[in-house]
Amino acid sequence: MSQHHRLRPAAVASAAAFVVLALGFTGTAHAAPATAPSSAARTGDDPDQPDNPLYDAPESFHVASGREAVSLSWSRLSAATAYEVYRAEAEGTGPDEVGPYALIATVGTDSYVDDAADPDVEYAYKVRALDDAGHVSPYTEARRGTRDTVAPFAPRDLTRAREDERGVTLTWRSGDSDAVKYVVYRAETPNAHRTKIGTTTSLTFRDTKGDPGLTYSYEVKGVDAVGNESGASNAVTGTKTVTPSTAPKAPTLGHAGLVGKRLTLSWWQSPHVPVSSYTVYRSKTSPVDVTDPANRVATTTKTEYTGMVGEDAGERDYYYAIVATTQHSVASPASASVKPTYKDPQPPRATEFYEVAPGAGSVRLAWFDVPYGSDEAPVSGYRVYRSTKPHITKENAEFSHDVTTGAEYVDRGLTGGTEYYYAVATLNEDGLESALSPEVSATPSG
């Protein structure tokens, strides 16, 4: 029981205030107000009577304190059909320093759970057996128990004793409490949610599981014999040291897409152990065997990779994994193995003109650049279409010109006074072409 001060409630009711609710059933029975039968009215009340089969008290009587109840158990007697449970409020530490005993339950099993005990009050318990003929056994020796709801005092003076490549070592003082063990909590930042990382019965703990290079915030709480947990100790920070032999964490492979022949991968890497390069591996089975050089695809210093794969459908059946490597040639574990999501290649998005400027025998055209996403083929250029008739299409255009750099074009050698019609389409590296832009027209001067 915790060493905190206990408030003592009024004395428990007398034995005459209870009656059995569940005599003869298995499991826990509880008592309710009624009038208990007088033990003096029972036949063979003297255990020394020759005809009393209950000449011994129940053995192995045990009382266990808990937060929600006090649990009692004992060995069953072959001649017994029921057991009486008595309780008294303890008034001192001696065996006889107890208040008057009261009958609180009669049960047909060899256990009883007293969840009606007042919180944080120490009680003495004893049990005796009954049979159908009214015989009674001697009482067991009294045992004490408490429904303990008071938490221990918080541990004090939590200190970071050591930081090295093996982890962070913490020490603390008990706080003069009744804690029987301690729980260590850790968070990645002082205000973040704390996660339980271990328990110990000593006043020291080494955290070997933290990520190297990442500074954690630590707290410790005490736990008493019935499971009450104290408040938190003071907080301290600690970091597992990064050395040349420290391996980085495995990359977290996020996006993995295959659009036609274009493969795009991207991943996230913990920054606490510096990484100098990443190696991409692939295989037809998962997980990818990154120890086989034949599975190596490429090495990059970026956290993304774009490449072209073969055209046959079997190229879509590969799994990919990433390994990070430090400047000291220490490799991380492999990332999760992921099969890219396949999509048929799509034409790029269309654009539109924002400037049409006629000149002497020429027309200057300018249009908006077309963006593309990570799983889209990059834009490779634009194709300008021209006609002397309105309603231009790719099929009826009289002239076309591919622009591979920039987003503008000057159409020269035109006839002055003639109206020309223009449209532009976007091209991508998959060789696909967008729809035409809205049509514009211009008349150059002579």
181 and 125 inside one domain? no
> Is residue 2's pLDDT more than 70?
no
| 340 torsion bin: left (phi>0), alpha (psi -120 to 50), beta (else) | beta
Nearest CA to 140 among 80, 82, 37, 62?
A: 62
Q: What is the mean pLDDT of residues 390-409?
A: 96
403 close to 409: Cβ distance less than 8 angstroms: yes
399 and 297 inside one domain? no
| Window from 74-78, 174-178, 222-226, 252-256 with minimum mean pLDDT | 174-178
Q: Which residue, 121, 146, 171, sits at the end of a domain?
A: 146
What's the total number of domains in the chain? 4
97 and 128 inside one domain? yes
Nearest CA to 159 among 236, 101, 88, 98?
A: 236
41 and 96 inside one domain? yes
> Quick one: CA dihedral 104, 106, 111, 115, positive or negative?
negative
The whole-angstrom separation of Cα 43 and Cα 53 is: 12
142 and 176 inside one domain? no
Predicted confidence band of residue 47 (pLDDT cuts 50, 70, 90): low
Let me know the angle formed at the C-alpha of 316 by 248 and 334, rounded to the nearest 5 degrees: 10
Q: Which residues touch 396 (CB under 8 Å, ≥6 apart)?
A: 387, 389
pLDDT at 91: 85
Nearest CA to 437 among 407, 406, 416?
A: 407
Q: What is the mean pLDDT of residues 370-395?
A: 92
* Pairing mode, strands 420-428 and 440-442: antiparallel
> Is residue 5's pLDDT more than 50?
no
Predicted confidence band of residue 8 (pLDDT cuts 50, 70, 90): very low
Q: Which residue, 343, 371, 400, sits at the end of a domain?
A: 343
pLDDT over 90 for what percent of the chain?
A: 77
Predicted confidence band of residue 303 (pLDDT cuts 50, 70, 90): very high
Provide the residue range defining the domain that includes 290: 252-343
With tokens 């120890």, the residue in question is 291
Q: Is residue 348 part of a domain?
A: no
pLDDT over 70 for what percent of the chain?
A: 89
Take residue 104 and report the two structure tokens written for it. 């609180």
Q: Is residue 415 part of a domain?
A: yes
Nearest CA to 125 among 103, 106, 108?
A: 103
The whole-angstrom separation of Cα 186 and Cα 203 is: 16
Would you tell me how many other CB atoms lie within 10 Å of the CB of residue 428? 22
The DSSP letter of residue 39 is: G
> Quick one: CA dihedral 320, 325, 330, 332, positive or negative?
negative
Q: Is 290 exposed, middle or buried (0-12, 13-18, 19+ CB in 10 A)?
A: buried
pLDDT at 358: 97
Q: What is the mean pLDDT of residues 423-446?
A: 95
Widest pairwise Cα distance in the chain: 140
Q: Is residue 385 part of a domain?
A: yes
* pTM flag (> 0.75): no
CATH of the domain at 193: 2.60.40.10
Predicted confidence band of residue 20 (pLDDT cuts 50, 70, 90): very low
The whole-angstrom separation of Cα 25 and Cα 82 is: 10
Q: What is the mean pLDDT of residues 397-411?
A: 96
